[in-house]
Amino acid sequence: MDLEFLQSVDVQILVGVAVAVLAIGVAAAYLFSSRKSKGCLDPENYKEFKLVKRQQLSHNVAKFAFALPTPTSVLGLPIGQHISCRGKDSQGDEVIKPYTPTTLDSDVGYFELVIKMYPQGRMSHHFREMRVGDYLPVKGPKGRFRYQPGQARAFGMIAGGSGITPMFQVARAILENPKDTSNVHLIYANVTYEDILLKEELDGLVAKYPGRFKVYYVLNQPPAVWDGGVGFVSKEIIQIHCPAPAPDIQILRCGPPPMNKAMAGHLDALGYSPEMQFQFCP
């Protein structure tokens, strides 16, 4: 057989192998970089996001929308986790506080925070002073909660005040995921009707997912006409409006520290084991 012919065949084989190896390398690099770049958060370093919209919802509550780098970018925050936000208080001192966005990664190009601003709140001062065009330093993700579709047959949620934000995020993720058939039962406590955050959105989920999502509002100072709960969340309210203790249910809670402590006592007394309970707030 002609030696020159054999040499040309060898060269073609080598070139073909080299091209294949190069193609595999490029594909692997692309996959690695795309996985690595998914999400805009950095758990170690603060990244700044521009405020593009501010909507006042009440005298002390506002919704803040922050732009992500591109219209198709996602924040990359796992369901049920939160971010650390950095700002300055009224004295100019640095303050850091955790917040849970009300948006999911299905909301591309931006993320939203619903913030209740307290008169003496140090981070509240920073958000009160924020204007469109300002930047918010953010770091994350943070948190211990891990959501997996179908991890529970039913979720009970007990929230107070601004503790509704992680509940809303988790509820949306469950209900909007076609692979998750879990039912969600939310008890949401506040002082007055005006204090109820995300009420329009919560009622919208009730209407969109009838039978799967239920909300029971509890007010300490209800209006004259009111068909919800009155006073504080009691053991009886939990018995009626949360799934009964069982290995395949989970109770989530988030509210002010005194409320969290009281709810833990109620849940223990009703027979909910520690494995059935998760607290978002410290």
Burial class (CB in 10 A: 0-12, 13-18, 19+), 254: buried
47-141: CATH topology is Elongation Factor Tu (Ef-tu); domain 3 (2.40.30)
| CA nearest to 140, candidates 37, 50, 42 | 42
Higher pLDDT: 47 or 16? It is 47
List, for residues 125-162, the tens digit of each pLDDT value. Answer: 999 999 999 999 999 999 999 999 999 999 999 999 99
What lies within 8 Å, CB to CB, of 39 at 6+ separation is 74, 75, 76, 77, 105
Confirm if 86 and 94 have CB atoms less than 8 A apart.
yes
List, for residues 44-85, the tens digit of each pLDDT value. Answer: 999 999 999 999 998 899 999 999 999 999 999 999 999 999
Q: How confident is the model over 276-280, as a mean pLDDT?
A: 96
The second-level CATH assignment, the architecture, of 154-279 is 3-Layer(aba) Sandwich (3.40)
Q: List the catalytic residue out of 102, 241, 254, 272.
A: 254
Is there a common fold for 47-141 and 154-279? no
- Is 70 exceeded by the pLDDT of residue 29? no
Identify whether 100 is a catalytic site residue: yes
pLDDT (0 to 100) of residue 196: 96
Q: Cα(85)–Cα(271) distance, rounded to whole angstroms?
A: 37
In the chain, pLDDT over 70 holds for what percent of residues? 87
Residues placed in the known binding site? 98-99, 114, 116, 123-124, 165
Q: List the catalytic residue out of 100, 103, 110, 266.
A: 100
Per the document, the length of the chain is 282
| CA nearest to 86, candidates 33, 52, 145, 134 | 134
Q: List the catalytic residue out of 99, 216, 217, 272.
A: 99
pLDDT (0 to 100) of residue 282: 58
List, for residues 241-260, the tens digit of each pLDDT value. Answer: 999 999 999 999 999 999 99
Identify whether 99 is a catalytic site residue: yes
Domain coordinates in residue numbering, the chain:
47-141, 154-279
Residues placed in the known binding site for FAD? 98-99, 114, 116, 123-124, 165
What ranges make up the beta strands (E) of 152-238?
Answer: 154-160, 183-190, 213-219, 229-230
10-19, 89-98, 133-142, 246-255: which range is least confident on average? 10-19
Q: List the catalytic residue out of 82, 125, 185, 266.
A: 82
